[in-house]
Amino acid sequence: MNVQIKKLDDFGRGIAFIDDKITFIPYVLENELVEYKITEKRKKYNQAEALSIFEKNENRIETRCPYFFVCGGCCLQHMNLLLEEQFKKDKVINILKKFAGIESYNLNFIGGDRYFYRNKITLTVENGKIGLLRERSNQLVEIDRCYLVHEQLNDIIKVLKVLVRKEMGISKIMLRLGYRTNEVMMAIVGKVKHIDDFLALSDSLIVNQKVVSKRYISSYIMDKKFCVGSSSFFQVNDQVVEYLYQEIINQIKHLNSKRVLDLYCGVGTIGISLSPYVDEVVGIEVVKEAIEDANYNKEINDIRNIRFIHSRVEDILDQLPTNYDTIIIDPPRSGLDRKTRDFLKRINSKYIIYISCDPITFARDLKDLKEKYQLLSIKLFNMFPGTYHVECLSLLSLKDV
């Protein structure tokens, strides 16, 4: 049976209508004519797979990764970069319209290298094999390399493939690479027999959350040095995060911001990066280890105009002063809770810089904040090429300012 793909959903899956029922088909593109097989029937929709493609979209490209159709770690590598950019723009525009009531918006798009950009990967080990779990399953896909991961880490994966054949007690291995330092962190879950083999591959080795050698590795964002632990949140795309942070700095300088409140500050990367351009920064973060790392990062960069508070954001809002002229928000994927949104509307800071990795929760928050704030700009940063994810940077201004 053949069917034409009408459009793509927000996850990059093709949408077709088979027997008047919406059907999702991955790895296809708009207007393509595909032969399909139904793989799952639900009450309201079907899942299907494409067996062959008869009429191809002109923007389709051959994928470099041999695991692309089975791994599930990325879903857009069959698009050229031009189509990926347009897909992500259209996705955010449609979400803003649906959830925030914004009819149209001109979005700037900033990208970087498409392959070998990730500085972190978490691998599954099973029966002497190492790889990634297939999407929506516990089935291991054994790999030799990942085309999204930095080549230095891919070189280590090749060695690990040999080492894990002698190790039957390991279940997970996380690898992380320091930018410009090339320091390697390895965090292992499970029982390790030949510890020296793994020490030889890493600068920092952690086994079952216990430090074997060195708790941190060092990494850079622009001219600032950061120590990164195994549980630290640190952006995985070193190139694009510098574009993002430079844009935040440009906005801070243009707005002439003086007192900045940095909510969900993590290990302090944003606040420390912009600290030379303001009088004061206060960062708030719920993860205790992140605050410890943030204070350490403050010291190694000799920053004196920033302080960090360990607390849930919603628990400390009522104790904070209200004279911040700019608030930076980089929340988890779930976005802002009601109390935080109410706080932002109440204290009347002149500007809000909102960084989001989930356009839907961002649009939901924006709809609420529109009561007091107007949207000045949105820029998209392709932090995760080859996947349906996109980072949004928005600038909001208090109305009548």
DSSP state string for 235-295: -SBHHHHHHHHHHHHHHHHHHT--EEEEES-TTSHHHHHHGGGSSEEEEEES-HHHHHHHH
Give the number of C-alpha atoms closer than 13 A to the C-alpha of residue 333, restricted to the C-beta side.
4
Return the pLDDT at 321. 84
The residue to which tokens 């961002």 are assigned: 362
**66, pLDDT greater than 90:** yes
Domains plus CATH for the chain?
A: 2-58 (2.40.50.140), 86-113+237-398 (3.40.50.150), 120-220 (2.40.50.1070)
Residue 103 has pLDDT above 90, yes or no: no
**Residue 304: pLDDT over 80:** yes
CA 300 distance to own-chain centroid: 26
Decide: 14 and 79 in contact? Cβ < 8 Å: no
Q: How would residue 401 be classed by pLDDT, with cut points 50, 70 and 90?
A: low
- What pLDDT sits at residue 231? 84
Residue 221: per-residue pLDDT: 97
For residue 82, give the H/E element and its range.
helix 81-100
Question: Tens digit of pLDDT for each residue in 130-183?
Answer: 999 987 788 999 999 999 999 999 999 999 999 999 999 999 999 999 999 999
Structural contact between residues 111 and 81, judged by C-beta atoms closer than 8 angstroms: yes
C-alpha 69/C-alpha 72 separation (Å) is 7
Counting Cα atoms < 13 Å in the Cβ hemisphere of 107 gives 30
Q: What is the pLDDT of residue 106?
A: 82
pLDDT score of 238 more than 90? yes
CA distance 36 to 295: 55
Least reliable range by pLDDT among 11-20, 315-324, 376-385: 315-324
* pLDDT value of position 105: 76
The answer to whether the beta carbons of residues 57 and 76 sit under 8 Å apart is no
Average pLDDT over residues 237-262: 97
- In angstroms, rounded to a whole number, what is the distance separating the alpha carbons of residues 367 and 355? 15
- Which residues on neighbouring strands pair with residue 358, listed in sequence order? none
Per-residue pLDDT of 209-235, as tens digits, reads 999 999 999 999 999 999 999 888 889
Q: What is the mean pLDDT of residues 116-120?
A: 97
Find where tokens 């793994």 sit.
Answer: 198
Dist. CA 380–CA 397, nearest whole Å = 19
